[in-house]
Amino acid sequence: MTVGLALLLDLASRAPRCGASSVSAHSHGGLSAAAAAATAAAALSASGVPLSARHLFGFPGFTIAHCDAGAAAGLNDAPDLVNDLNNKIRDSIQYARKEYFQYPAKEYPLELKPLFSAFGLKNFSVTTLRSFLLYYLPLIQPKPQTDSDDDDDDLLHDAPEEKHVDLITPFHNSVKQIIRETSIVTTRRVLERIAVCHVSQRTAWKLLKDASKSARRKAARGMSTPEYTYCVARTTFRAHALGVAAAWVVQSIIEVYRCFIRKPSDDEESFDDMEKFRLFGRKIYGITIKSCFSLVLASIGAGIGALVHPRHGQWFGCALGDVAGPVVAIIIFEKMQLPL
């Protein structure tokens, strides 16, 4: 009964009326149709139609309405407009698919290394060998012999006593260097995990990127020399930032121990609390300046070294700039007569 009432109202709304223009008639017709649909919906809601079956009658949710009043209102070309719209949508979809397959969306894979990777067999062996060679190689260097013109004078002089070679101090220094390097690598792994959790995926990917592999990929793109050098230097700056930050954190902790925790020996001067804070501030200032120089020179060295070889040249230039950074900082500040 309710549906029949709605259909009767719809048919009555389509009947022609005298003394009114076609546009007005159709506008009233649209209103009457809408009113009929609303009346039918209200009747359905008032009747005992269950909720699970109301969508069949267009209530509630999306209202289903059919109106053919547009044909007499000057919209005879509606099918053409719909076809044009469908063609434009289809062309847009095809263009988007073509662009996607030609230039796919860039992904940012995050590869976190193990937290204690510095204690692996290979890495720890290389660190230990490098540390011991650093402090024991100077001991085996031959001392230059002085030539004298008079052999008789050499016979008169007593043979110089051989000095005892201290092997304990280089061993202690080597152990300290091993602890320092492993602490820096472990601190960097912690900073990488913090970056992954607190920054965007794109930023974390740039901080964790392998700069050597990135330089090799950039070399295959056919960039110009200035653009290639700049891109490699920028990538190295981002990828090397966490390493420099980890070194800064470890060195700052060492200075905290030296200034506030360690007891001064007999040869060292004792300072009060204010002098300790001032000394600690100067140490942190010097560490920060040296770290900044290391990061900048490592990036520049990597950009220049990548011109020789995309991968090995980038790595060698980065390492060379990292080592030369503190030395250049000390020389510049001494020339400018600034404390460091």
Contact 17, 28 (CB under 8 A): yes
Domain extent at residue 131: 111-139+167-205
For 116-131, what is each residue's pLDDT tens digit?
988 999 899 999 998 9
For 245-268, what is each residue's pLDDT tens digit?
999 999 999 999 988 888 777 666
* Structural domain includes residue 149: no
Query: Do 19 and 96 reside in the same domain of the chain?
Result: no
Quote the number of domains for the chain: 4
* Structural domain includes residue 145: no
Query: Do 222 and 330 reside in the same domain of the chain?
Result: yes
**pLDDT score recorded for residue 6:** 52
* 213 half-sphere exposure, CB direction, 13 A CA radius: 5
pTM over 0.85? The answer is: no
* Structural domain includes residue 155: no
Return d(Cα 251, Cα 183) in angstroms, integer.
Answer: 10
* Structural domain includes residue 331: yes
**pLDDT score recorded for residue 61:** 47
**pLDDT score recorded for residue 136:** 85
Which two tokens mark 9? Answer: 């109202």
Q: Residue 201, Cα to own-chain centre: how many angstroms?
A: 6
* Structural domain includes residue 296: yes
For 1-41, what is each residue's pLDDT tens digit?
544 555 555 555 555 544 444 444 444 444 444 444 445 55
Query: Do 217 and 282 reside in the same domain of the chain?
Result: yes
* 57 half-sphere exposure, CB direction, 13 A CA radius: 24
DSSP annotation string for 288-335 = HHHHHHHHHHHHHHHHHHHHH-TTHHHHHHHHHHHHHHHHHHHHHHHH
* Structural domain includes residue 283: yes
Q: Which of 257, 288, 282 has the alpha carbon at shortest distance from 183?
A: 257
**pLDDT score recorded for residue 267:** 62
**pLDDT score recorded for residue 98:** 63
